[in-house]
Structure 1
């Protein structure tokens, strides 16, 4: 199950990278690329699956529930913004995209720096 966990981790990081890159690329002419929606949903679903695997003690470690709660709130806000931007592309501005990029950076920073 450790292999599955690590494959999910790779997909999780790729999902966040797609959102980050898509939002940055969209800042030149404010638009949210279609791939950002797929990336954010990939990141959210794989993150939930990884927590489930770790909580079942199949990944070799127990998750820090406080850290997971913070990351989940940030991920849900980012997901909400991306879904809103995908449904109403005329509302996407540079500030909107900056918020998405900022949330992605904060989520990755929490994952790496919170020990």
Structure 2
């Protein structure tokens, strides 16, 4: 069970890295990278699976539900921004890209610093 949790964590972090790195690289062009949608959906789904697995398992530590809720809201906002930018590429601005980058950093910071 712990191995599955670690595998999901790896995929979760890779999803966020795809969103962050891809958006950072295309910041000058004011467009969202093609992989950003796949990255955020990977991060969102694996995050939900990790929480479900930890909640259902006796072996794993129970998740902090308030922290999970805050991270979920941030992830849903990033998902909405990425979907919007993917569906309407002509509407992508530096502000939208900055919001995606900033909220990605916020989500990772919450994961690392909230104890």
TM-score by length of 1: 0.97
- 2:96 and 2:59 mapped to 1: Cα distance? 36
Q: CA deviation at 1:57?
A: 2.3
- 1:18 and 1:59 mapped to 2: Cα distance? 30
SS at match of 1:30: coil
Question: Where in structure 2 are the equivalents of 1:11-90 lying within 5 Å?
Answer: 11-58=11-58, 60-90=60-90
- 2:112 and 2:67 mapped to 1: Cα distance? 11
TM-score by length of 2: 0.97
Go from structure 1 to structure 2 and tell me whether the alpha carbon gap of 1:3 and 1:33 turns closer, same or farther (over 3 Å shift): same
- Alignment length, in residue pairs? 115
- Are 1:93 and 2:90 matched, yes or no? no
Unaligned runs of 5+ in 1: none
- 2:58 and 2:4 mapped to 1: Cα distance? 10
Q: CA deviation at 1:60?
A: 1.6
